[in-house]
Structure 1
Amino acid sequence: MEKTFMETKGYTYKASLAEGSFGKVVKAESIHLKKLVAIKIIGLNKYTTVNRDKFVTQEKEIIRTLKHPHIVKTYDVFESRSEMVYVVMELCPQGDVAKLISARGALDECFSCRLFKQLCLAIQYLHGIDIAHKDIKCENLLLDAHYNLKLCDFGFSEKLSYVQGKLVPSDTHCGTLQYAAPEILKNLPHNSKIADVWSMGIVLYKMLCGLLPFITTNTTKLVQLQLKHNIKFPTGSSVSSQAKEILLSVFSIVRCVWFWTAATGDPEQRWNFNIILKKYKILQLT
C-alpha cells in the first residue's frame, strides 16, 4: 500500500533503512529529482490527538523553513488518506554517528571535533531563528557521502516564544533519557536552548570515548550523577585537555542554571557559539 502510494507521488521504493515506534525510514528513487532520497513515514494513528497537533504538525511546519548545510534537506512533505505522513529528505549514505561508533568504537579526536563543530553550526543556526531541537543524540546525526554531519529528526522540536524580550520556559519534557538535561528529567520548566547544549555535550563525550558519560536507566540516579558534575574519562583514553575543557564548559552551563541567581547573569548567555568556536584551537583546525 505504502509503496503504491509513493509511486503515485513519483517515488520508487528501494529498501528499508530504519524503523521505530512512530514510523520508519525507507530509501527511494525520486523520478523528479532523478536521485535517491530517504523518506520518513510517520503513522499519525500512533499519536494521541494532542501529541499529533503538538509534535507532528509542528515538525511539518519547522522542517519546511530550514536551510543549512548541516541540517538534512527536506524536499517534500505529503500525506495519505490512511493518515500516513511522508517526509522526503536527502539520503545520507554513511548512516548515523551512533552506528559508526558501534562499528569503530571511540572516534578519532580530530574527526570528533570536526563533527562537533558542524553540530555547533547547525544548532547555532536553529537557536538563531528561535527553534530548539530537543532530541539531539548520535542516532539523529547523519553522515553524508563525505562524512559531513547532517542533523535530522525534528519530531520533538519546538518554536520558542518570548514575552517582553524574555524567553518563555518550556514545559515540554521530551527527548532521549541518556541525552536529556537534568531539568527535563526532573519535569521542570526549562530553557530549551540550554537543554540542547547539554545533549551536545553527551554527543561529544560519546564520540571521544565510545560510551555515555552517565550510565544508568534509573532517572533519579541519572539526575544525581549529572548534578555531581564529576565527568570521568575511560582509563587509557587519549582525550586532550582542550577537548575535556569543552566538555566541562558544556556540562557547567546546565549545572549553573540549577544554582543560578539574578546576580550571576542570564544563563542563556553562558554558552556563546561564536566564542566557543574561536576559543578552542581543536575546533578551528577541523
Structure 2
Amino acid sequence: MNSSNEYEEAMKIASELSIDKLHSFPGNDTSPSGEKMLYSSPNSTVYLDSLSSESELNMNNSPRKVKELCVVKTVKGQAFCYLLGKEYRILKELDHPHIIKPIEFNQTKTLQEQSASLYLPYYSKGELFQLVKSKNGLGESLSCSYLKQISSAIEYLHELNIAHRDIKLENILVDDEANAKVIDFGFCYLSEYQTEEEHSKDIQTRVLESSIEANIMGTAAYLSPELIELTSNGGLSICDSPDKIAEKLDILKAGDIFALGVTLFTMVTGVAPFASATKNDANYRALLLGKRKKCDWFWKKHIIAKSMTEKGLLSEEFKNLVEGMLDPNPSDRLTIFSVVNHPWMSKFINPASEETNQVLC
C-alpha cells in the first residue's frame, strides 16, 4: 500500500464520512437492505433500516421483539473504516442527553475490501440546519435554548479532553422532543485515544491513521483563522510530539468555540456571519476592523445583522457573546466555560413555549 497516495485519496473524499448528510440528501433509491436511501457516494451509503430489539415482556413473560427504525451508515476502505470505527468507540463511552447514542457497529475485512456499518437512532425532524433554513433564523430566544443544550454537550466533551472538530448546524439533529443531539464524531480528537489493537497494527496502517489525525478536519465556513493558517503550514503534525499534545488540544478546543460562534450567529439570523475566516472575506475583515477599533463595524457592515439591529432584533448581550466566540486571537477567545456562563445565556430563562411548539409541529 502506498500510504501517501491512500492518504491523499482519503482526504479528497473525507467529507463523505461526515454524518451530517444523514438528513440532507433524501432520495428514492433503495439501500442494500431494500430500505430508503438517504445518501450515496462511491465510499459511503446512508439509509434507513429497522433493527429488531427486545422490549418489554409480553403476556407470557417472554421478551417481545420490536422493530426500531434507525439510520445505517456504511463505508468502504481502510481510512473510512478507521474513522467510523473511532466514532463508534468514542460515542459508546459518552453519556450526555444532547449527544447521540450509537446502537450498533459492524466491521468486515476481506482480502479485497474493508467495510463498516454504524447504526444510529433516526430522528424524522432532521438537522437543526433545516429548521433554521425553513424559518429564516430562529431569533434569540429559541436559539438561546438550543445553544444551552449544544454548549453543555461541548463543555462535557472538553472536560473529557475531547475536541469535536466539526461543530455546525448540519451536525446537530433535532429529536422527537425538539431537543438538540450533537452528531458526527469521526473527526473528533481525544488526546488519550487508543484502542487495544493499536499495538498490533502494521506500520503502514499507523502512518495512514496518523496522517488522517494530523489533517485539519471540519467545514471551511466554520474553521477558525488559526486552523485555516495551519492548513497551509502542514496541518497539525507540528503538534504531534508528546510535549505538544496539550497545545494541540487547546488549539482544537478553541476551534470548537469559533465554530460554535458561527453556528450561533447563523441560528439567530438565518445566514452565516461570513463565507470564511480570511481577510479576503469582506464581512470577516469588518469583524477584524471592529475588534481593532473597538467599534461595531461588523454589525453595520453585515447586511442582515444591520437590518436586524435596526429593527431591535439583536441584543447587545448577543453581539458581545458572538464577538467573544469569534475573536480572531484564540488566546482571547471565550472558553466553553465562559460561553455557558455568559449573561446572554440567562437572558431567556423560559423561552416561549409557542416557539418550541412550532419546532414540534
8 A contact 1:59–1:154 mirrored in 2:
yes
Q: Residue 75 of structure 2 corresponds to which residue in structure 1?
A: 43
Q: 1:236 aligns with which of 307, 313, 323?
A: 307
Q: Residue 182 of structure 1 corresponds to which residue in structure 2?
A: 225
Alignment pair present for 1:279 and 2:334: no
Map 1:1-286 onto structure 2 (within 5 A): 3-4=32-33, 14-19=35-40, 22-32=43-53, 34-45=66-77, 49=78, 51-52=79-80, 55-81=83-109, 83-160=114-191, 171-187=214-230, 189=236, 190=248, 191-215=251-275, 221-222=280-281, 225=285, 227-228=288-289, 229=291, 231-232=298-299, 233=302, 234=304, 235-237=306-308, 238-252=313-327, 255-257=328-330, 270-273=334-337, 276-277=340-341, 279-280=343-344, 281-282=346-347, 284-286=349-351
Higher helix share: 2
Deviation for aligned residue 1:219? 6.0
Deviation for aligned residue 1:147? 1.3
Deviation for aligned residue 1:43? 1.8
* 1:273 counterpart letter in structure 2: F
State the secondary structure of the residue aligned to 1:65: coil
Aligned pair in 2 of structure 1 residues 14, 57: CA closer, same or farther (>3 Å)? closer
* 2:271 counterpart letter in structure 1: L
1-structure distance, mates of 2:126, 2:182: 12
2-structure distance, mates of 1:78, 1:120: 31
1-structure distance, mates of 2:74, 2:281: 31
CA offset digits 1:81-132 (Å, max 9, x no partner): 5533211112222110111222221113211111111110110111111111
Gaps of 5+ in 2: 1-29, 55-65, 194-212, 237-247, 292-296, 352-361
Greater mean deviation of Cα atoms: 184-193 or 15-24:
15-24
State the secondary structure of the residue aligned to 2:137: coil
Deviation for aligned residue 1:25? 2.5
* 1:129 counterpart letter in structure 2: L
8 A contact 2:53–2:68 mirrored in 1:
no
State the secondary structure of the residue aligned to 1:72: coil
Deviation for aligned residue 1:141? 0.6
8 A contact 1:95–1:143 mirrored in 2:
yes
1-structure distance, mates of 2:343, 2:158: 20
Q: Aligned-pair RMSD on alpha carbons?
A: 3.0
* 2:318 counterpart letter in structure 1: A
Aligned pair in 2 of structure 1 residues 24, 92: CA closer, same or farther (>3 Å)? same
TM-score by length of 1: 0.77
* 1:41 counterpart letter in structure 2: K
Greater mean deviation of Cα atoms: 228-237 or 174-183:
228-237
8 A contact 1:70–1:122 mirrored in 2:
yes
Gaps of 5+ in 1: 5-12, 163-169, 261-266
Deviation for aligned residue 1:65? 1.0
